Amino acid sequence: MNHDGVKDGYANEALATLADKLSIPIIASGGAGCKEHFFDVFNIGHADAALAASVFHFGEIKIPELKQYLKALKKNGLIYCIKRVIAKVKYRLSIIGGKNGKN
Give the span between the Cα atoms of 28 and 50, in whole angstroms.
Answer: 5
Give the span between the Cα atoms of 58 and 45, in whole angstroms.
Answer: 25
Give the span between the Cα atoms of 93 and 87, in whole angstroms.
Answer: 10
Per mean pLDDT, which of 4-8, 13-17, 98-102 is the most reliable?
A: 13-17
Distances (CA, A) of 71 to 2, 23, 36: 29, 26, 13
Q: Residue 62 belongs to what domain range? A: 12-97
**50 belongs to a structural domain:** yes
Count of all residues that appear for the chain in the document: 103
**7 belongs to a structural domain:** no
**67 belongs to a structural domain:** yes
**103 belongs to a structural domain:** no
**6 belongs to a structural domain:** no
- Backbone angles phi and psi of 52, in degrees to 5: -155, 155
pLDDT digits (tens, 9 = 90+) for 30-79: 889 999 999 999 889 989 888 888 898 889 999 899 888 888 887 666 65
Instruction: Please count the structural domains in the chain.
Output: 1
Give the span between the Cα atoms of 19 and 10, in whole angstroms.
Answer: 14
